């Protein structure tokens, strides 16, 4: 599938049942809600998808279910987050053989690679497949920053590298990257609490987290912002911000899954070593969710701007 790195691309949660097995029915329900809301792609097996706990067979199943459910309406993108170059190349080839439409590629896991090592790693993985690639740049959480100079080298060597999930939390980086690379590098914000700000600075898309629970609200903010309907977008975003802040937490998976329960798009089941929230923290998060649900806004007709 030919596609452009634009629009809202949910980083989907992985749905489990009470027996710690994949809940493909609930996963399918969420995928359909994302597509109906206007999402432009689906990203599987990221941090929010608890990828580090999934078996290869489970990743294969999720990819197959997402492809079947989407029916070619939107691209299915598989996250690659491995400890070795060999493992990452194998994972990229496996995703391609399973029918994935694109890849989201993280720097090497666990080992804090140098700039030279990181670029070599990206080049090696890109060489294993001809799938389009989104580079995930998140130095806050992963300790490795992909700098503009590194992107310069990558873009010259790897025609399939076409986009960045920009998660440095430096909003000026959107303009910095646009000035240097123009349209050669599509920019998708990866920080929910900078969603609208990034769109207004010219980001092409949004790899979102709370979209798993609130697909229509997320796509509405993006579409209205891109269309210059700032007042309308800001009104939704102001309501949304306390929820979006649940994404920038070590417990983002538990937080967002609680929100999915509130909107009927998921369950609270996480895979150990993660455990469901309890005590005061659970009450705090539920309080944020419940207040938001009580004030959930009526949305304008935003799809006309997609």
* Burial state string for 127-136 with b = 16 or more CB within 10 A and e = fewer than 16: ebbebbbbbb
* Tens-place pLDDT, residues 43-86: 999 999 999 999 999 999 999 999 999 999 999 999 999 999 99
Can you give the pLDDT at residue 102? 98
Can you give the pLDDT at residue 111? 87
* Tens-place pLDDT, residues 248-279: 999 999 999 999 999 999 999 999 999 999 99
Can you give the pLDDT at residue 136? 98
Can you give the pLDDT at residue 269? 98
**How is the chain split into domains, by residue range?**
7-305
CA torsion sign for 24, 134, 93, 96 is positive
Distances from the Cα of 7 to the Cα of 71, 74, 189, 199, angstroms: 18, 11, 10, 10
Report residue 179's pLDDT band, with 50, 70 and 90 as the boundaries: very high
Sheet architecture: strand order including 76-80: 7-10, 205-208, 186-189, 161-166, 133-137, 102-105, 76-80, 42-44
* Burial state string for 174-207 with b = 16 or more CB within 10 A and e = fewer than 16: beebbeebeeebbbbbbbbbbbbebbbbebbbbb
Give the count of alpha carbons within 13 A of 126, CB side only: 22
**3 state DSSP class of 246:** helix
DSSP structure string for 254-288: HHHHHHHHHHTS--S---TT-----HHHHHHHHHH
Report residue 109's pLDDT band, with 50, 70 and 90 as the boundaries: confident
* Average pLDDT of span 157-170: 98
Can you give the pLDDT at residue 98? 98
H/E element, 179: helix 172-181
191/176 Cα distance (integer angstroms): 17
**Residue 50 backbone phi and psi in degrees, to 5:** 55, 40
Instruction: Report the candidate in 213, 259, 215, 217 with the shortest Cα–Cα distance to residue 234.
Output: 217
* Tens-place pLDDT, residues 182-217: 999 999 999 999 999 999 999 999 999 999 999 999
Dihedral through CA 108, CA 180, CA 191, CA 201, nearest 10? -170
CA 121 from centroid of its chain's CA atoms: 21
Can you give the pLDDT at residue 40? 98
14/253 Cα distance (integer angstroms): 10
Report residue 145's pLDDT band, with 50, 70 and 90 as the boundaries: very high
* Average pLDDT of span 91-98: 98
Instruction: Report the candidate in 231, 250, 241 with the shortest Cα–Cα distance to residue 194.
Output: 241
178/159 Cα distance (integer angstroms): 17
Q: CATH number for the 7-305 domain, one of 3.90.1640.30, 3.40.630.30, 2.40.160.20, 3.20.20.70? A: 3.20.20.70
CA torsion sign for 82, 83, 88, 90 is negative
71/69 Cα distance (integer angstroms): 5
* Average pLDDT of span 177-182: 98
* Tens-place pLDDT, residues 124-137: 999 999 999 999 99
Q: Are 20 and 51 in contact (CB under 8 A)?
A: no
* Tens-place pLDDT, residues 213-246: 999 999 999 999 999 999 999 999 999 999 999 9
Report residue 305's pLDDT band, with 50, 70 and 90 as the boundaries: very high
Q: Are 75 and 1 in contact (CB under 8 A)?
A: yes
Can you give the pLDDT at residue 156? 98
DSSP structure string for 115-171: HHHHHHHHHHHHTT--S-EEEEE-HHHHS----HHHHHHHHHH-TTEEEEEE-SS-T
Instruction: Report the candidate in 107, 192, 116 with the shortest Cα–Cα distance to residue 142.
Output: 107
Report residue 110's pLDDT band, with 50, 70 and 90 as the boundaries: confident
Q: Is the pTM for the entire model greater than 0.85?
A: yes
* Average pLDDT of span 98-109: 96
């Amino acid at each position: 599938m030919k596609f452009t790195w634009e629009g809202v691309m949910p980083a989907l949660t992985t749905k489990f049942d009470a027996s710690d097995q994949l809940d493909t029915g609930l996963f399918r329900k969420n995928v359909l809600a994302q597509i109906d809301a206007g999402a432009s792609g689906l990203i599987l097996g990221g941090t929010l998808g608890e990828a580090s706990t999934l078996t290869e067979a489970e990743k294969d199943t999720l990819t197959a279910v997402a492809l079947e459910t989407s029916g070619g309406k939107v691209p299915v993108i598989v996250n690659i987050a491995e400890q070795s170059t060999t493992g990452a190349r194998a994972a990229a080839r496996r995703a391609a053989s399973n029918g994935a439409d694109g890849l989201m590629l993280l720097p090497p896991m666990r080992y804090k690679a140098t700039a030279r090592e990181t670029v070599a790693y990206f080049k090696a993985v890109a060489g294993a497949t001809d799938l389009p690639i989104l580079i995930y740049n998140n130095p806050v959480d992963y300790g490795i920053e992909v700098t503009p100079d590194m992107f310069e080298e990558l873009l010259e060597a790897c025609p399939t590298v076409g986009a960045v999930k920009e998660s440095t939390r430096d909003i000026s980086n959107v303009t910095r990257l646009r000035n240097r690379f123009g349209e050669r590098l599509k920019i998708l914000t990866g920080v929910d609490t900078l969603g609208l700000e990034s769109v207004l600075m010219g980001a092409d898309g949004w790899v979102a987290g709370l979209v798993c629970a609130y697909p229509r609200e997320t796509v509405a903010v993006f579409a209205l912002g891109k269309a210059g309907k700032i007042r309308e977008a800001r009104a939704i975003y102001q309501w949304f911000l306390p929820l979006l802040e649940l994404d920038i937490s070590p417990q983002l998976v538990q937080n967002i899954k609680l929100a999915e329960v509130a909107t009927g798009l998921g369950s609270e089941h996480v895979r150990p070593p993660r455990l469901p929230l309890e005590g005061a923290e659970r009450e705090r998060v539920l309080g944020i969710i419940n207040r938001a649900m009580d004030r959930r806004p009526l949305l304008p007709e935003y799809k006309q701007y997609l």
